[in-house]
Amino acid sequence: MQKYKITISYDGTNYAGWQVQNNKVAIQPLIQKAIETILRHPIQLTGSGRTDAGVHALGQVAHFETPLIIEPRKLRFSLNALLPQDIRIIEVEPASLEFHARYSATSKIYHYHVHLDPTLNPFDRLYKYHFLKACDLNLLLDAIPHFLGTNDFTSFTNQPNKGSASRDPVRTLFRLDCIQAPGGIRLEFEADGFLYKMVRNITGALLDIASKKIQGSEIPSIFAAKDRKKAKTCAPPHGLFLIQVNYKTSSNDS
């Protein structure tokens, strides 16, 4: 058996997300099926994590195994020929059998794009959240430290499935930067992992702070409450990009 790591970029606009939700077209099954069509045997394609409906990716990572000897470059070409143009395979690399797209990840980087100017370029409409309320970005910047470090993020996550067993809600947010971008800001998040809707919920809270709907000083008590109802605002999916998944060692080390 040989394991392969693939890096994927996609425009999430037309998809139900990485994985099947309510029988709509999802990205993971499309890629899995394309690999199976080329290799002519069933495979299991495992992603680094799900992205929600409408969320985009520049560097989603997934792995699969095959007993066949394949040429990575050729597989990439064949996959891109089969897949729709809004899903592109950026790289195919051999990986060690220990490599796991999800469990080997040491950190993930997400960016959230917020447009604040009155007019949003039509070419950005599917990729930036147009936030029209008056904002004081200094309030947002002052509130960032409340989110950094190791915390129980229960108040900033939603349950993907009501009946599912709850995962450990403690995550470490290494970095949360607010970068000036043309007409708005880009929020850059890096953590050891992210809970369901965590980036969008933190972004929603930060924009509520910037627009004076809530105060930054309320964040510690919202964390302490461990209750999603305490921070209700969730930013929409289309401003969110999974940028990169980081791994401890190069995936092709054995």
Q: Any idea which residues carry the catalytic annotation?
A: 52
Q: For residues 109 and 173, which CB has a smaller minimum distance to its own copies in the complex?
A: 109
53 Cβ contact partners less than 8 Å away, ≥ 6 residues apart: 12, 15, 16, 17, 21, 24, 237
183 lies in the site for its own copies, by CB under 8 A: no
121 lies in the site for its own copies, by CB under 8 A: yes
Distance CA 75, CA 93 (A): 10
Q: Contact region for its own copies (CB under 8 A) — 38-46, 113-121, 154-162, 209-217?
A: 113-121
74 lies in the site for its own copies, by CB under 8 A: no
56 lies in the site for its own copies, by CB under 8 A: yes
Q: At CB < 8 A and 24+ separation, what contacts does 220-225 make?
A: 220/146, 222/155, 223/146, 223/151, 223/152, 223/153, 223/155, 225/155
127 lies in the site for its own copies, by CB under 8 A: yes
76 lies in the site for its own copies, by CB under 8 A: yes
Nearest to 86 by CA among 16, 29, 10: 10
Q: For residues 228 and 238, which CB has a smaller minimum distance to its own copies in the complex?
A: 238
Q: How far is the CB of 113 from its own copies (least distance, A)?
A: 12
Helix (H) or strand (E) segment spanning residue 23: none
87 lies in the site for its own copies, by CB under 8 A: yes
